[in-house]
Amino acid sequence: MSNAYNRPDQLSPELRRRVLDTARRLGYPGPDPVARSLRTRKAGAVGLLLTENLSYAFRDPAALGFLEGLALACEGAGQGLHLVPVNPEREDVAAVHRAGVDGFVVYSVPDDDPHLAAVLSRPVPTVVADQPIVDGVDRVGIDDRAAITRLAQHLITLGHRRVGVVCMRLARDRNDGFAAVDRQEAAHFHVQRARLAGIADAFGPAGVEWARIPVVERFDHTTASGASAAGQLLDSDPGLTAIIATSDILALGAITEARRRGLRVPQDLTVTGFDGIPEGERIGLTTVRQPVLEKGRAAGRLLLGTPDPTRPREVTLDTELVQGTTASTPRTTEERWFGP
């Protein structure tokens, strides 16, 4: 029976025809994929775990790029892509245990996320992306810290000293407001923690004490969040010459808010982002471009490729500083040159 479907060479054409015939007559719908998976120990799919609602991934351009790259890799290997449903409110890990997959890709979840723990407890290969290193699992990412240091140094070169920072959520609990250093250092999102540290790396040597640079955190990753966070920064210190956002989405919101307040970008306020999303490119956002699609593809390849004996592998992709038109010398310097 099985042979009739999958191994035509193992039996005579005549018997095969007869088997298939009676199968059809009996209404047999073909081999059951689940039973086959049980026996062969192959599900033919990789699971993807995202921290946010599944649908969030379809809104965030960076996540989307990652998804596209991963899908590309899966497609190439004939593997399905199983999106694991996660309800960030309820800590329901059952979905992770129920997913019939041959491996997991975990994208940007907090390091204390129970779903991540659940994935690691499953006896299947796992690749994490934009995450800190976990014991022995493969990892793909960029050097967030060094990348944003370069960007910050660029601002320092331009003359900025009074800057504010807008960042994404640092932990699973909602904290829409200022984030002190202790919260920053305890951050559970590796990417955000690294980016903040990278900014500090640049400003410290420039004589700006990091603890005095205001950092505003937002739980939701939307342009509206970026706008309100920028507003909060400017309210607390109208003398800021630059706002560094840890994502393009937040930066776009900050620009909107600046304009709303009658501030010209970059003449009155410099704004920078991180990611290099198309919307940012369109308006000439100064940012760090990271190869999101490549990242997804690398994650897929890492998972689906032959499991190298030199376990845990790590792929770090290159980034590029994009000097757009939203950063310039600060107003004060400018005024010094041209008068107020």
Residues that bind a second copy (CB under 8 A): 29-38, 43-45, 47, 53-55, 57-59, 64, 67-69, 71-72, 74-75, 78-87, 92, 94-95, 97-100, 121-123
CB of 11 to DNA, least distance (A): 3
If binding is defined by CB under 7 A, does position 94 make contact with DNA? no
Pick what 14 binds: DNA, a second copy, none; C-beta below 5 to 8 Å, kind-dependent.
DNA
The pair phi, psi for residue 151, each rounded to 5°, is -65, -45
Which runs of consecutive H residues, i.e. helices, occur in the chain? 2-6, 13-25, 33-40, 61-76, 94-98, 114-121, 144-158, 181-185, 190-203, 223-236, 248-260, 278-282, 292-304, 331-338
Per CB under 7 A, contacts with DNA among 6-35 are 6, 10-12, 14-15, 28, 30-32, 35
Question: How many C-alpha atoms does 236 have within 13 Å on its Cβ side?
Answer: 17
Name 320's bridge partners: 289
Q: How far apart are CA 229 and CA 220, in angstroms?
A: 11
- Our CB check for DNA shows the closer of 5 and 219 to be 5
Choose which of 25, 39, 90, 212 interacts with DNA (CB under 7 A): 39
CB of 320 closer than 8 Å to CB of 301: no
- Our CB check for DNA shows the closer of 38 and 117 to be 38
Pick what 15 binds: a second copy, DNA, none; C-beta below 5 to 8 Å, kind-dependent.
DNA
If binding is defined by CB under 7 A, does position 121 make contact with DNA? no
CB of 210 to a second copy, least distance (A): 38
Q: How far apart are CA 269 and CA 51, in angstroms?
A: 33
AA letter at 204: G
Pick what 309 binds: DNA, a second copy, none; C-beta below 5 to 8 Å, kind-dependent.
none
CB of 130 to DNA, least distance (A): 31
CB of 250 closer than 8 Å to CB of 280: no
Edge-to-edge strand list for the sheet holding 163-167: 177-178, 215-217, 163-167, 242-245, 270-272
CB of 30 to DNA, least distance (A): 6
- Our CB check for DNA shows the closer of 41 and 212 to be 41
Pick what 250 binds: DNA, a second copy, none; C-beta below 5 to 8 Å, kind-dependent.
none
Looking at the chain, how many residues does it have? 340
Pick what 26 binds: a second copy, DNA, none; C-beta below 5 to 8 Å, kind-dependent.
none
* Site residues for DNA per CB under 7 A: 1-3, 5-6, 10-12, 14-15, 28, 30-32, 35-36, 38-41
